Structure 1
Amino acid sequence: MGARLICYVALCLLGAGSFDAAVTQKPRYLIKMKGQEAEMKCIPEKGHTAVFWYQQKQSKELKFLIYFQNQQPLDQIDMVKERFSAVCPSSSLCSLGIRTCEAEDSALYLCSSSQ
């Protein structure tokens, strides 16, 4: 692969076991080159007003990024605001974006929702 760095951003669909209701994330997998933009979408479970985004790097623990309640960001302690952005304009679609991918962004990104 030479000197090219690849920013690998993977998404996982969060299932609720045998239940029908679940959070939906799109796309399921996302591969970006260093310097490219990335956008991940989350459709919360119907009726849920809280949305959470997390990041998990390989062999590391889950890291909280941001929390929305009724479309308003309430807590974004660990989100790198210079490069990351998150919006939740409606209760049916939220997104997490990376303006410029870096190698250290390679991770599993998860969203969850709650009432």
Structure 2
Amino acid sequence: MAQLWLHLCICFQIPGFCTNLLLSQTPGHILAQTNNKTEIRCELKKEHTGVYWYRWSQERQNFEFLVFSNPLGKATYGTNISQDKFSVQGASSHSSYSLRISQLRDSDNGTYYCSISQSFQLLLGSGTHLGVVDVLPLPPKTTEAPLSTKPVRRVTKSKAVSKKGACSPLVWVPLATSVLVLLLSLVPTAYRLYRLRRRLWLRIHRQ
């Protein structure tokens, strides 16, 4: 047992030294509200005799044993650890365990580790940092860029024409062209009327 704690201290002094791929711990971070509950999951990829749960408190500089759960579901709690606050739920296949923490308090802040014992060593999970706050922060609001209030000066086509004056080529050239086309279209009509009038005059005088 002394060798286990000695190895545990070495692992703790060098963060991540004993974490390995045999334990998959999720989630990595939890932010929860006071008086609520939360859950940490640990998946095991190797045969084991049980799962240990520990908590590291940065404020108290303390690595605390919480609870041990064997494959039969029997739990052994650490000193002054409440069974109503901490509970362990294991899957029927014994491949995953969940640590449930209820009635969260500020004192529950810390990093939680699941662990198994292999060859006189404690193999630690990657750790889950738990932060307990009185009020959860609101999600950031999306802000839109303010619309420009500077007036945009627009010049319409009619105003642009009026500024050039009534004698502008843009005004009289199309007008003169239209008048000329109209006059040319009236010439054949006038000629037909003239011939019709002459025929009527000749017919009347012959009678």
- The 2-side partners of 1:52 and 1:35 are apart by 25
Q: Which of the residues 102, 107, 115 maps onto 1:104? A: 107
- The 1-side partners of 2:37 and 2:86 are apart by 10
Structure with greater proportional helix content? 2
- The 2-side partners of 1:101 and 1:53 are apart by 17
CA deviation string 1:17-57 (max 9, x = no partner):
xxxx4211111111101111110011123222321000111
Report deviation, 1:84: 1.8
Report deviation, 1:89: 3.5
Query: SS of the counterpart of 1:100?
Result: coil
Structure with greater proportional strand content? 1
Report deviation, 1:95: 0.8
Q: Any stretches of 5+ residues in structure 2 without a counterpart?
A: 1-15, 119-207
Query: Which region of structure 1 is more displaced relative to structure 2, 26-35 or 72-81?
Result: 72-81
In structure 1, the residue matched to 2:39 is: 39
CA spacing shift, 1:69–1:82, aligned 2, 3 Å: closer
Q: Which amino acid aligns with 1:80?
A: S
Count of residue correspondences: 100
CA spacing shift, 1:74–1:37, aligned 2, 3 Å: closer
- The 1-side partners of 2:66 and 2:45 are apart by 19
In structure 1, the residue matched to 2:96 is: 93
**Structure 1 contact 34–100 (Cα < 8 Å) conserved:** yes
Identical-residue share of aligned pairs (%): 26
Query: Given the two structures, how large is their TM-score scaled by the length of structure 1?
Result: 0.73
Report deviation, 1:74: 4.2
- The 2-side partners of 1:80 and 1:95 are apart by 17
Larger RCO of the pair (alpha carbons < 8 Å, separation 6+):
1
- The 2-side partners of 1:113 and 1:75 are apart by 14
- The 1-side partners of 2:117 and 2:44 are apart by 8
**Structure 2 contact 53–112 (Cα < 8 Å) conserved:** yes
- The 2-side partners of 1:73 and 1:64 are apart by 16
Report deviation, 1:72: 2.5
**Structure 1 contact 49–71 (Cα < 8 Å) conserved:** no
**Structure 1 contact 86–97 (Cα < 8 Å) conserved:** yes
Report deviation, 1:71: 3.6
Q: Any stretches of 5+ residues in structure 1 without a counterpart?
A: 1-12
